[in-house]
Structure 1
Amino acid sequence: MSQSLIPAKWKFIVEYEDEETQEISGTIGQANSRYECESLIEDDIAYHIICGRVIVNAEAAAVCAKCDGEGKLTSANGDLIVCDACGGHMGPIAKLEAADTRHLGGVCFADRPAAS
């Protein structure tokens, strides 16, 4: 994965299926670093497994911390301006997907290049 000078925060989602109701739900969160994000996802997965839920998906994305991945900011007079931190980059800077979410012992994350 290439290094970026854009100040980033990580957002994640863990989707699970409740074995009793067969409903798919999810939890979302955010972290300041990739390491913290991976740890929070692993803790979230462990919690849902203990509650008898099946993990369906877990993924995370790094977005610009200043504009939240929108590429634009609102100026003092209400106009939209290009984010100076990311140069107007819209969407994720980097993505992670859980390669194996069926068991807790070996959740491993695969780098996915962000779409440009």
Structure 2
Amino acid sequence: MADPAADLERESLTPTHWAAIGLAAVTAVVHLALGLSFLPHWMGGAFLVATAGFLLGIWLVLADRRRRLVYLVGIPFTGAQIVLWYVVNEPSGLADLTVAGAVDKVAQTLLLVALVTLLVSEDDDP
């Protein structure tokens, strides 16, 4: 049986890559927990789709598969998560935030910064 870790290409990963991977993992875990708690409601499925998207992005970066495309898709994907959360929850202040929501939105905001940084820094590479 093939070793999945053998497909990973870690040497080219920078600290920014690792930060983005960690932040994507945090938001994936939050979405997984929320998805499972919302099932069988349709929102449970939506959270699980988001989980899969973040996990796929992590794997693609680790496997060095179309990283630039991952950054380009990851930016609107993550940004949409933030906008959808705001539209669905309509928070009027900090008191409306749950711990999971706060952790997730901070992770997603920082992930956006990391993805933009990676995209811009890749443009500078020869």
Q: Given the two structures, how large is their TM-score scaled by the length of structure 1?
A: 0.28
**Which of the pair has more CA radius of gyration?**
1
Choose between structure 1 and 2: higher strand proportion: 1
Q: Which has the higher contact order (CA 8 A, sep 6+)?
A: 2
